[in-house]
Amino acid sequence: MADKAARLTLEGKDYDLPVLTPTVGPECIDIRKLYAEADVFTFDPGFTSTASCDSTITYIDGDKGELWYRGYPIEQLAENSHYLEVCYLLVYGELPNKQQMETFENLITRHTMVHEQLHYFFRGFRRDSHPMATMVGVVGAMSAFYHDSTDINDPKQRDIASIRLIAKLPTLAAMAYKYSIGQPFVYPRNDLDYAANFLHMCFSVPAEEYKVDPALARAMDLIFTLHADHEQNASTSTVRLAGSSGANPFACIAAGIACLWGPAHGGANQAALEMLQEIGSVDRIPEYIKRAKDKDDPFRLMGFGHRVYKNFDPRAKVMKQSADEVLALLGIENNETLKVAKELERIALEDEYFVSKKLYPNVDFYSGIILSAMGFPTSMFTPIFALSRTVGWISQWKEMIADPQGKIGRPRQLYVGADRRDYPEVSAR
């Protein structure tokens, strides 16, 4: 709703633009009618000052370093909840009661298997394919199997597609991992919880019993929760834009996975750990800090900085504590990489360059240390981010599809190309 206006004066003419009031956070100037009334566009590449939608799902305050899922602070959910309960909250808007949780958990558990023929898609990839390449391909291919949940105008089909995606992404991510290391696929097990099931599908082999360590399963579950949703980030915006054309949910999530892969986004967890391993020891940190500040050097401190957070990423704080716990549990608290990470963080947070640009560690800075300690190769870090974020993508997609004002997303441009000109004969060129 708008109870006040912002006045724009252009060539002597005034335009009163409604100002929309949020529950909390910045107000928004509604420019939807601007082009029709004033024949001008706004210009905001990278969308640094642009709200693409209204949403009730996730709220971030970058200055305070706050993140809420449906109003609940991430710190409280990390402490008291678990991933499937967070999935219910994100998808349906409220925390479930006991009965609702049991029904939801039972539904997810019984959708974790994938169509047996999906296995053949993996066989077409080289074994050394990056698991994210496999994930993009196989998740997109789900639309070739689950035809009974691709009609986006049927709320029942939208719901079953959501359940299938939340349930099957861990199975597909584990299959991508197993395929990349030449081990046989491991089927999901209904007697294991969501995170334990994922660890079992990744690390068990037919030759022997594999017992999931409950503490590692808890740490895995926490990583899933911390990555579940994050407002209108690049991959979520990709899912919304793909969904605005009416594309089926499997194709939209595949588009989100493709966007997440970039090192500036979800691919940063792999890049951050590889950077820490390349630095190798504390005494080499100054050399890398120098490079990060050098305008002529494309090197950036991976895992640092954020478009929204100009304070600590609250997820990084929780992740840092979990890293200490997991490495102590595994008896590798003297892990050199963790030492480099902590010293790099300490130096960066005192360095004028990083302080002035408000570059703090983000969610990707510590996650890789935990995942590596659990036994995952760096190539599996972003697939794990993707499976965690699927519930966020799906929740945002459902919110957009259900919006009666929804329309296809179609930005305009500032054209700076050639003026109109006539076609010259070759002899005249």
Of the listed pieces 35-43, 151-159, 333-341, 361-369, which binds ligand SDX according to CB under 6 A?
361-369
Instruction: Write the CA distances from 179 to 127, 130, 196, 201, 213, integer angstroms.
Output: 6, 10, 20, 12, 23
H or E element that contains 8:
strand 2-10
Shortest Cβ 90–ligand SDX spacing (Å): 13
Query: What gap in Å lies between CA 125 and CA 134, rounded to an integer?
Result: 7
Q: Contact, 87 vs 228, CB < 8 A?
A: yes
Shortest Å distance, C-beta 155 to ligand SDX: 27
Sole binder of ligand SDX in the list 362, 390, 395, 396 (CB under 6 A)? 362
Residue whose tokens read 């100002």: 19
Q: Examine the residue annotation and report whether 306 is marked as an active-site residue of this protein.
A: yes
DSSP 416: -
Contacts of 379 by beta carbon, 8 Å cutoff, 6+ apart: 130, 131, 132, 180, 270
Nearer to ligand SDX, 196 or 359 (CB): 359
Contact range with ligand SDX by CB under 6 A, out of 17-25, 105-113, 148-156, 355-363: 355-363
Residue 64 C-beta: closest distance to ligand SDX, Å: 15
Query: Contact letters (x/-) for ligand SDX, 5-34, by CB under 6 A?
Result: ------------------------------
Task: Output the DSSP codes for 331-367.
Answer: T-TT-HHHHHHHHHHHHHTTSHHHHHTT--B-HHHHH
Residue 82 annotated in active site: no
Residue nearest to ligand SDX (CB): 305
359 binds ligand SDX (CB under 6 A): yes
Q: Residue 170 or residue 368: which is nearer to ligand SDX going by CB?
A: 368
In 3D, which of 150, 100, 177 has the Cα closest to residue 254? Answer: 150
Cβ proximity of 74 and 67 under 8 Å? yes
- Name the catalytic one among 193, 229, 313, 364: 364
Out of 200, 230, 306, 313, the active site residue is 306
In whole angstroms, how close is the CB of 364 to ligand SDX at the nearest point? 5
Q: How many Cβ atoms sit within 10 Å of the Cβ of residue 232?
A: 19
Among 65, 243, 249, 305, binds ligand SDX (CB under 6 A): 305
Q: Could you tell me the smallest distance in angstroms from the CB atom of residue 49 to ligand SDX?
A: 12
Burial class (CB in 10 A: 0-12, 13-18, 19+), 224: buried
Binding positions for ligand SDX, 250-269, rule CB under 6 A:
264-266, 268
Residues lying near ligand SDX in the complex (CB under 6 A) are found at 230, 233, 264-266, 268, 292, 300-308, 357, 359, 362-364
The catalytic residue positions are 306, 364
